[in-house]
Structure formats: structure tokens, C-alpha cells
Structure 1
Amino acid sequence: MVTITDLLNRANDVGFFSYVLPFLLIFAVIFAILQKTKIFGDSKDQANVKSINAIVAVSIALLSLLNDYVSTFFATLFPRFGIVVGIFIVILILLGFFYTPKADGTGGIPSWIGWVLLVVVLYWAIDQWSLISGIGFGGTYTLQWFVDQYLWGVLILGGVGFLIYKMMK
């Protein structure tokens, strides 16, 4: 049975993501710009103008794929863009936890679950950071030898909570 992963890997092997999708994206953007700006006229015979716009858009899209610069750029840009969109969505969801809307629909009041969630997420993020970079709660082995890592976590989260509390007043 073929899985989605196999299908996507096969599409990648034949150049679908390197050539077909960038071509379609460039063609669509160029064609839309030409249609909107009406560079080649706005005659009553709209079919001729669309044909010219399509020929120009296809030509530019094909010429842009002549070298691998565009394919490499898109292969680098869009995965990172997906991560940024994911982070933005998570931020919006988390912001939804911090305020409960008033009955009249204006503004909101702080929600306690948002602050609890903030403390948990910050604790988790700093703990994960210590695993990757060695400068999280404990930092180095020497620092862990002097002070327990949980004490640092409580101090940091308490400080952040205090700053947020003061900023909200």
C-alpha cells in the first residue's frame, strides 16, 4: 500500500516540488499582476489581452526556472514560512487563553488559565533550551553543582510573572 510519504517522496523525485509548483506559483502571480495592471490594454476583445498576458507569464515563469536559484529559494523559504505560520497560530491560541471577552463584546478580563498555561509553557521551553544549548535552568555542570535547577526555574518564572503582573496594572 502506498502511503502519503511515499507519494510525496516520489513527487519530489520527479521534480514536482522543484519545478512544477514554482512554475505554477510564478505563473499565477505574474498573470494576476498583468491582469490587474492592464499593461497590454483593456480592449473590448478581452480574449486577446488574456492570451498575451498568459504568454508573457508562461515565458517569465519558464525563464525563472532556467537555473536552480528559484527552486532552491522556494525549497528554503516555504518550510520556514510554514514554521512561522505555525508559531503565529500557537501565539494566537495562547493569547485567547489570556482574556475572556466581556458580555458586551468589548475588551476582556484576564483569564487565570492563561497565566497558568504561560508558566507551564515557559517552564517547559526553558527546560528544553537547557537540553539543547546548555544554558537553560542549570546552565553548566558547575552551576548545577551549586544550585538546584528547580530553584532557578522558580526564580525565573516568578520574576517573569511579577513583571507581567506589574505591566498589566
Structure 2
Amino acid sequence: MAEESVFRSVLSFFTDIGIYDVILPFLLVFTIVFAILEKTKVLGTEEIEGKKYTKKNLNSMVAFVMAFLVVASAQLVRIINETMANIVLLLLISVSFLLLIGSFYREDEHVALFGGWRTAFTWGMLVALLLIFAAAIRIDTSSGEQRLLVWLWSSVVNFWDTRWMAAIILLIIVVIFMYFIVNEGRPTKSAHEKKGGD
């Protein structure tokens, strides 16, 4: 049996002292909440020497408390750890896809998605993100604890021929149909309007 490397033992030590279960989720939640509060200025601003500054003390305190509340819940920490790992995997897949596309382009050509392709890939990423979160969230059912994604899929399979499932499918089709009907006749902005009418 191969001996454990030094770096692997260090990672195991980090796991034992709670780096991955406490410190990293705390820093992640604190950073995201603090950045949102700073950007949106929800808690107001203060004026110092004629310049407006965000209330960093309030923003940091709210972010600190929210991060601690998240870390206190083992279930939330588990969801964060699972989803972040899968989100990074999704990001690697998209970057790898762009690398493969880029191999067919010249050096001076930009690799980017435009029009319908960009919309399709954006919606694809959104669906994949929702599936990642649904797979990470676990719920209590009559048969025990289940992942939300598994429960949803089994519910669809078991109740596929019922009236309410048919009603949901019909509602989705009607909403999609109405969306395309409404957007079909909408005029697009001209370049003159985008510049502000100059």
C-alpha cells in the first residue's frame, strides 16, 4: 500500500480542524454578503469631506452575523460544499468547451458566442446550476432522506399520467407559446436609439 503524501496529510489535517466545514464556508458567505451590501448600499451611506462612503462597519457586521448563522447549520455548510465543487466542475467544462472551439480559430479571431447561441448556453448553464442545487439539497420523505432532484424525478415518473401533471405541462407550453408570440412583434432598438438619440 502506497504511503500517504505529505500534502495529502496536510489536507487531512485541515479537514480534522474544520477548515473546509467552518473557515472556508464562513469566508465565502462573508465575502459574498459584504460585497452585495457594499454594491447595493442597502444600509445607507455617510458623507465624509464631501464624498459619500458606504457604512462598512454595518455592512461587515451584518455579513459577519449571516456568515456565522450559515456556518452554525451543518446542512447549509454541506449544501455549500457540494454545490461549489459542482459549480467549479461546470465552469471547467465550459472553459474546456471554449478551448476546443478556439482550436478552430486563428490567433487574431475572437472566440465568443453571439445571438441565439449565447442565449442557449446561458439557459443551459442556468438549468445545470439549478440541477446542481437540487442534487445538493436533501429532504425528509416517507421513505427516508432523499435528494431533492431524486425526489422530483421520482414524483414526475410516478405521477406522469395524472391530471395535475398534464395541467403543469400544458401550463408550461402555454407560457412558452405566449412568450414567443409577445416578443415576435416587438421592434428592436436601432443604433440611433441606443446612443440616446444623438
Q: TM class, shorter-chain normalised?
A: 0.5 to 0.7
CA distance 1:106–1:72, shift in 2 (3 Å): closer
- Shift of residue 101, structure 1, vs aligned partner: 2.6
Q: Which of the pair has more CA radius of gyration? A: 1
Mapping 1:49-60, distance limit 5 Å? 49-60=55-66
Of 21, 25, 40 in structure 2, the residue corresponding to residue 22 of structure 1 is 25
| Shift of residue 22, structure 1, vs aligned partner | 0.7
> Please, what TM-score do these two structures have when normalized by structure 1?
0.53
Residues 129-168 of structure 1: pairs in structure 2 closer than 5 A: none
Match of 1:66 among 42, 64, 72: 72
Distance 1:32 1:5, change over 3 A: same
2:74 pairs with 1:84: no
SS at match of 1:43: strand
Task: Specify the alignment match of 1:75 in structure 2.
Answer: 81
CA RMSD, aligned part only? 2.8
* Superposition deviation, residue 82 in structure 1: 2.5
TM-score of the aligned structures, taking structure 2 as reference length? 0.46
Aligned length: 105
Q: Distance in 1 between matches of 2:37 and 2:95?
A: 33
Aligned to 1:134: none
Q: Which amino acid aligns with 2:42?
A: I
SS, match of residue 44 in structure 1: strand
Task: Percent identity, please.
Answer: 26
- More helix per residue: 1
Within 2, Cα distance between the matches of 1:49 and 1:106?
41
Q: Please, which runs of 5 or more residues in structure 1 have no aligned partner?
A: 108-169
What SS does the aligned partner of 2:55 have?
A: helix
Matched, 1:3 2:9: no
How much has 1:102 moved relative to structure 2?
Answer: 8.4
The 3-state SS of whatever aligns with 2:44 is coil
More strand by share: 2
C-alpha change, 1:100 and 1:49, in structure 2 (3 Å) is closer
- Matching of residue 93 in structure 1 with residue 99 in structure 2: yes
